Structure 1
Amino acid sequence: MAEYLGKVHGLLHDFNELLPLADTPAKELEQRQTFFMLMALYGLPDEYSSIRDQILGSPNVPTLHYAWSTLFRVPSRSSSDTPFAPPGDSFAVVS
């Protein structure tokens, strides 16, 4: 248990180093939203790595709203990679 709590304490220290207290509550809220957005992007599945890189590659840190709207524009991926084939006899389509 002591080892686990030591790790948690280390993570808290790292978190406070990365996200120090801000001068104003508004600035602190902005920092927290940016941090949360970065963590959410980091947790995306690998199939979205190009979109994640595009969002993070912008010259300014994007807002959470911008990141979400970009992700919602990405077409959803189906469970199969094959295109949709209508049911029925494929020979009938050829003739």
Structure 2
Amino acid sequence: MNPTDRQAWIKELRTMMIKHQNIGHYWHFNQQQKELLKQYYDANVLLVSCLKSDCYVSREVRQEIEDTLLLELIYKENLKKVGD
């Protein structure tokens, strides 16, 4: 595959990923937004780590955490699908 065809293929792949999976965007976050995303990620990693450990969490609390982990992202994705 020559470089021109390769670049066209990459561009088409990115377009399809954005259209069908909502991934592959070129995000332009400022430093504050990057820091907030890092904090969100770190908090979720800690939460998942705690859930996988032997710490006591009631079944109800565990289920609520599992049901709502990343819920905002799922909610936004569902809203987008409804709008399409």
Both proteins in one fold, TM over 0.5: no
Which structure has greater helix proportion?
Answer: 2
Structure having greater relative contact order (Cα 8 Å, sep ≥ 6):
1
> What TM-score do you get using the length of structure 2 for normalisation?
0.28
> What TM-score do you get using the length of structure 1 for normalisation?
0.25
